[in-house]
């Protein structure tokens, strides 16, 4: 199966998940939330090579210098108890790593391009004046390119390129809490995988409504993924504080 065909199939699968709301959801009006986020994320990348495992870590302050481009955004459409939630992440960065064999290589770097697109269909199983609980299921698609460069000291420089695209089914739970008329909190957890891939995510935020349309949110987010490769296994971890602004209409 070609990469282009897989990308198309992955996109179609996510699109079908997002369009699968039951007809009952058409009985009330839609409400939309659009969010743009700034994630102060530390990044950890691990990948196996023929010379051993390479582990690279990049703090947010270092990532600002080495980051080529990043985007983080979330959209939600709600109709009664039903909701469609999407989340898009894109990173293009380079991280340095300790050499797996000090006598052979002088330095190591891992160039990482990753797009993560998540889509859920959620149903509100409980709601009162203070707490709302949503349960959902969906898909998370990954498009990854990892280029590991081992700069030779006593051997030639070696480059190992890995490209893999896949989709993980996921289940999710979210709790919304009203602390006051303006202050609110959100807890969200999801997890899934296919056997040779796995992913999970945790999010905790506190928000403040500026008015009927605008809200600010801040908290902590963690996202992890592992997948099998021809050389062993690779993994990505993003973790750190997050700030966001949401527009509702």
pLDDT at residue 91 tops 50: yes
User: Token pair of 16, please?
Assistant: 């079908």
pLDDT at residue 5 tops 50: no
Residues 107-124 have a mean pLDDT of: 91
Residues 217-244 have a mean pLDDT of: 93
Confidence grade of residue 63 (pLDDT, cut at 50, 70, 90)? low
Q: Residue 21's pLDDT is what?
A: 46
Residues 96-108 have a mean pLDDT of: 70
Range of 25-34, 69-78, 96-105 with top mean pLDDT: 69-78
Partners of 119 in the β-ladder: 86, 139
175 or 95, which is more confident: 175
- Residue 226 C-alpha from the chain's centroid: 12
Q: What is the CA radius of gyration of the chain?
A: 20
pLDDT at residue 92 tops 50: yes
Confidence grade of residue 216 (pLDDT, cut at 50, 70, 90)? very high
Contact 159, 176 (CB under 8 A): no
Measured over the CA atoms of residue 49, residue 71, residue 42 and residue 87, the dihedral's sign is negative
Measured over the CA atoms of residue 181, residue 83, residue 72 and residue 43, the dihedral's sign is positive
Residue among 94, 198, 200 nearest 146 (CA):
94
| Entry pTM | 0.82
pLDDT at residue 68 tops 60: no
Q: Residue 225's pLDDT is what?
A: 96
Contact 149, 108 (CB under 8 A): yes
Q: Residue 197's pLDDT is what?
A: 96
């Amino acid at each position: 199966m070609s990469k282009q065909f897989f990308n198309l199939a992955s996109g179609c699968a996510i699109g079908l998940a997002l369009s699968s709301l039951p007809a009952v959801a058409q009985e009330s009006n839609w409400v939309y939330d659009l969010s743009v986020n700034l994630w102060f994320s530390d990044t950890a990348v691990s990948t196996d090579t023929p010379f051993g495992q390479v582990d690279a870590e990049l703090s947010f302050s270092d990532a600002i210098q080495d980051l080529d481009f990043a985007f983080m955004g979330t959209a939600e459409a709600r109709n009664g108890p039903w909701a469609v939630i999407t989340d898009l992440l894109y990173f293009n960065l380079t991280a340095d790593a300790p050499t797996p064999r000090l006598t052979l290589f002088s330095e190591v770097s891992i160039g990482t391009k990753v797009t993560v697109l998540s889509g859920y269909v959620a149903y509100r199983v409980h709601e009162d004046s203070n707490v709302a609980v949503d349960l959902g299921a969906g898909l998370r698609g990954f498009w990854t390119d990892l280029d590991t460069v081992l700069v030779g000291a006593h051997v030639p420089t070696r480059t190992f390129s890995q490209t893999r695209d896949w989709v993980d089914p996921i289940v999710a739970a979210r709790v919304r809490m009203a602390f006051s008329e303006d202050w609110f909190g959100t807890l969200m957890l999801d997890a899934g995988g296919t056997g040779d891939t796995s992913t999970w995510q945790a999010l905790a935020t506190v928000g403040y409504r500026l008015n009927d349309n605008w809200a600010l949110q801040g908290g902590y987010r963690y996202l992890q993924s592992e997948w099998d490769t021809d050389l062993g296994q690779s993994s990505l971890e993003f973790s750190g504080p997050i700030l966001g602004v949401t527009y509702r209409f």
